[in-house]
Structure 1
């Protein structure tokens, strides 16, 4: 079944409202912008998450996304693409899991199976 694919123009957020930026290595498959690949770099900025410590707190923001479920049937140069049903986990700089990434908007005109 076809589903909307993610592109570098898609909108994603960490569970705390940080913004995900996609830096793609894909230079071939484009829909105005590059299709996002599971192997691309997904950086997070603006995450306000803090860990309570004693009477204060320590910043522990989400900084990247690691994909755990991606589109195996639609690939670009052997690399899996990402779709609305893909699953990713947001990680802190120390690789601690922070929660699931939210796909806010994908490219509805580009679909894969």
Structure 2
């Protein structure tokens, strides 16, 4: 699996349109001016409108499950544009995969 490496400036959205933002676990390694993204980063989702019946169940976090098998950043596996992930509600219910729509184009990994 190869693809463009994610950095914290990448646009990541939950399946319902909420915006995910990264809080980087490291700031030493950068990719095109922003910290390189790893599985250790905390991704929080804001603005998700998802409800089940009348109960709001918005996505609040993104949990990455398929990072790069070869690239590590300060010991943590790097994230690629096509890395697998799931968004989760506050009750930890899986809500579906996020979409990565805008990513830097210079650094490619496997």
TM-score (normalised: structure 2):
0.94
Q: Is the 8 A contact 2:2 2:80 kept in 1?
A: no
Shift of 1:76: 0.8
* 1:1-113 superposed matches below 5 A: 2-31=2-31, 32-52=33-53, 57-113=54-110
Shift of 1:26: 1.5
Please give the alpha-carbon distance, in whole angstroms, between the structure 1 residues aligned to 2:2 and 2:94. Answer: 30
Q: CA RMSD in A?
A: 1.1
CA deviation digits over 1:26-70, x for unaligned, max 9? 221102000001111000000000011xxxx11110000011101
Structure (1 or 2) with the larger CA radius of gyration: 1
TM-score (normalised: structure 1):
0.92
**3-state secondary structure, aligned to 1:88:** strand
Aligned residues: 109
Q: List runs of 5+ in structure 2 lacking aligned partners.
A: none
Runs of 4+ in 1 over 6 A off after TM superposition: none
